[in-house]
Amino acid sequence: MSLDSGEIVFFEPWSLGDVIIAAATLRELAEPATLACHSSWHSLLRATLRDILNLSLIAVDLPYTTRKRASPFDSHPEATDSQAYSASRLLSIRGDLRDWIAARKLFPKAKIRMTGWARFFGRKSAMVNFPYRIGLLPVTNRYRSWARLAGVDYAKIAATYRQRQMELLISNSVVIHVGAQWRSKQFPEVAALRDMLQSHRYTVRIVAGPGDPLPPGLEEKDISRAADAVLVEALLSAGYVITNDSGPMHLAAYLGCRTTAVVRTSPIEEWIPPATTIVRSPLTPRGYRPNRRYMSDEILTGWPRIEEVIRTMETKGFSPEVTE
């Protein structure tokens, strides 16, 4: 099958955050390109990526990329001639052999350029991660990786993020998005954070995705569930957005929201979006390898205090220059 939008493919079949990271570079690309990602994100992406002209989306649903990590070695059936896509170049930053095999099956004639091998093995092996954990080797941010691979100046991406923030009005409204792929990444004290924000005269709205579990102390009556265009509108309506290290963090930052993310289990240097404020726990891991309980639904302790979250939001979150 031919690609109407051009012959460059950004291959990112994993989570929403990964896809938005790729889109940040795609937005600055001078030539049209195709984004190959999981079909579950397409509706949200169409509502979010309206500033990317002539964008084409391809559904790539691989079982090992889901939350259940089903069939970890099932990289996609061989594509028939009628199913295969024609593309001259395919880009990926994951360094995952399964992705390479799947991409080769779907795009048999494409020249595949894949980076991120050190990152991939650093996540899997404490030994490989060791020099990154102690600071001997630098951690490469994924936004920078995509920019470098596609030949886009990262400074241009960061400037777009800052400009989008400057275009949004500052108000005393706060949206807290509680969504996270794993509960280990979910800030557990959202109810107390809401109460303290309200005592500081903020208007607070708590948002969750359709299937997101709620943190302790919250009930359905306390939150709004939003997806796709409704979620985009909710985020854009806020003066500030507070998230976990999750897809909504990347989405809010991409839209230009003044975003503050609360982090506990992720080595966040790899994931920080441009112009985004990070409140990290002292227990946050370094390097590429996440906390051993990262892929779990365990509710962890050791999170930043809610006073620190609010103070950071108020002192840094208003500034489009923040890029920790």
Q: What is the pLDDT of residue 70?
A: 53
Task: Work out whether strand 56-59 and strand 8-11 pair parallel, antiparallel, or are unpaired.
Answer: unpaired
DSSP 8-state symbol, 31: S
For residue 315, the model assigns a pLDDT of 86
Q: What is the chain's alpha carbon radius of gyration, rounded to the nearest angstrom?
A: 19
Q: What does the mean pLDDT of the chain come to?
A: 88
- Give Cβ neighbours of residue 278 (< 8 Å, ≥ 6 apart): 260, 261, 263, 268, 272, 324
Domains of the chain: 8-152 (3.40.50), 164-315 (3.40.50.2000)
The torsion angle over the Cα atoms of residues 115, 117, 122 and 123, rounded to 10 degrees, is: 80
pLDDT digits (tens, 9 = 90+) for 213-225: 999 999 999 999 9
Residue 294: predicted pLDDT = 64
Q: In the structure encoding, which two tokens stand for residue 202, read together?
A: 């903020």
Tens of pLDDT, residue by residue over 287-310, are 988 877 766 778 888 999 999 999
Round to whole Å and give the CA distance between 77 and 31.
30
* Percentage of the residues of the chain whose pLDDT score is greater than 90: 70
pTM score of the predicted model: 0.91
CA distances from 284 to 54, 186, 228, 269 (A): 40, 13, 30, 10
DSSP 81-139: TTTPPP-SEEEE-S--HHHHHHHHHHSTTSEEEE--HHHHHHHH-HHHHHHHHTTSSPP
Q: Does residue 247 carry a pLDDT above 70?
A: yes
Q: What is residue 297's three-state secondary structure?
A: coil
What contacts 107, CB < 8 A, 6 or more positions away? 9, 11, 84, 85, 86, 87, 90
Mind listing the pLDDT tens digit for each residue in 4-29? Answer: 435 799 999 999 999 999 999 999 99
Helices (H) and strands (E) in the chain, counts: 11, 11
pLDDT band at 231 (very low <50, low <70, confident <90, very high): very high
Give all strands (DSSP E) within 161-220, no chain letters: 173-177, 203-208
Judging by DSSP bridges, how do beta strands 224-225 and 111-114 pair with one another?
unpaired
Average pLDDT value for residue range 165-176? 91
Q: Which residues contact 49 (CB under 8 A, 6 or more apart)?
A: 23, 26, 27, 55
% of the chain exceeding 70 in pLDDT: 89
Return the structure tokens found at 11. 């291959």
| DSSP-assigned beta bridge partners for residue 207 | 177, 224
Give the up-direction half-sphere exposure of residue 275: CA atoms within 13 A in the CB hemisphere. Answer: 28
Assess contact for 287 and 122: CB atoms under 8 A.
yes
Does residue 12 contact residue 22 with C-beta atoms inside 8 Å? Answer: yes
Residues in contact with 11: Cβ distance below 8 Å, sequence separation at least 6, in sequence order: 36, 60, 90, 91, 92, 99, 103, 107
Query: pLDDT of 43-78, one tens digit each?
Result: 999 999 998 888 899 999 988 887 665 555 555 555
- Please state the rounded mean pLDDT for residues 84-107: 89
Residue written as tokens 């390898």? Answer: 289
Nearest alpha-carbon partner for 265 in 248, 245, 238: 245
